[in-house]
Amino acid sequence: MLNQSLRTPATAAPIDPSCYSAEQFFVTTGHAGLIASEFSYKKEEEIYGEDEPSEYVYQVVSGAVRSYKLLSDGRRQIGAFYLPGDVFGLESGPTHRLTAEAIVDTTVRLIKRRSLEQAAATDINIARGLWSMTAGELRHAEDHMLLLGRKNAMERVANFLLEMDRRLAVAGMMALPMCRRDIGDYLGLTLETVSRALSQLQSKGILGFSGARQIELRNRAQLRNLDA
C-alpha cells in the first residue's frame, strides 16, 4: 500500500463548469472553496485503501478504476468499474468501504469531501448533484446484487457486455480496459467460466474479437435475450 501522503494531490485548479449528474463531476461557479486537483496513477497503483479516511471524492479523467474488497479466504470481489467521466469515492461514512485501484495508467480529478459538503449546504444545485450520484451508486449496487444472486454465468456475461457497450462502445467496437480475471471477479465467476462464455458467444456469431480486449457486438438483440 502506498503512503497516503504520496497519493494526496499537490496541485489545484478551479473546477470547470459542467452538468450535475451521476456520470459527470459535480461542479459549480461562485464557490471559491471548491477547488479540484488532477493526479495520475500508474497501472495497478492504489488510489485509496479500504478503511482509509474518505477525504476526497474522485472523477476519472482518463483510464479506468476498479473498486474491490478482499474476502477472508483471499478471493477478490470487484464492486464497480469506473470509466472516464464516472465519479467514485463518495462515502456515507468517514472511511472508504472498498479499495480503489487504477486498472491502467489513469488520471483522476479530486475535490475535498468537506468542501463539497459545505458547498452543498448552501447551493441546491450541488445538493441535487450529490443526491443524483448517491442514487446512482445505490441503483448500481442493487443491480449488481441481482446479477450475482439470480443470474447464471451466461446471463452475467451478457449483462456485463451490454453494460460496457453502453459505456465504452465507439463505432461498434469496445476496447475493454479490464482483463478477463477482472471481469470474473466482478461477476462472481472464474476466469475459465468467463473465457468459455465469451467463446460460446463468439461461436454463435453474437460477438467478434479484434485482439484480446477489442470486442465487436454483432447481435445485440440476441445478447439482450440472453440477459432477459
pLDDT score of 171: 58
Phi, psi of 158 (to 5 degrees): -60, -45
Q: Is the pLDDT of residue 27 over 90?
A: no
Phi, psi of 148 (to 5 degrees): -75, -30
Q: Name the pLDDT band for 121 (thresholds 50, 70, 90).
A: confident
pTM of the model: 0.82
pLDDT score of 13: 38
Q: Is the pLDDT of residue 14 over 80?
A: no
Residue-wise pLDDT tens digits, 148-162? 888 999 999 999 999
Residue percentage of the chain with pLDDT more than 90: 54
Q: Is the pLDDT of residue 23 over 50?
A: no
pLDDT score of 126: 80
Least confident of 19-23, 32-36, 66-70, 207-211: 19-23
Q: Which domains does the chain have, with CATH numbers?
A: 4-148 (2.60.120.10), 151-227 (1.10.10.10)
Q: Is the pLDDT of residue 81 over 60?
A: yes
Residue-wise pLDDT tens digits, 3-13? 443 454 444 33
Phi, psi of 40 (to 5 degrees): -110, 145
Closest CA to 207 of 164, 178, 167, 177: 164
Average pLDDT, the chain: 84
Q: Is the pLDDT of residue 18 over 60?
A: no
pLDDT score of 21: 42
pLDDT score of 7: 54
* Beta strands 106-112; 35-41: pairing state: antiparallel
Residue that wins the pLDDT comparison between 191 and 210: 191
pLDDT score of 170: 66
Residue-wise pLDDT tens digits, 88-102? 998 888 999 999 999
Alpha-carbon distance of 189 to 214, in angstroms, equals: 21
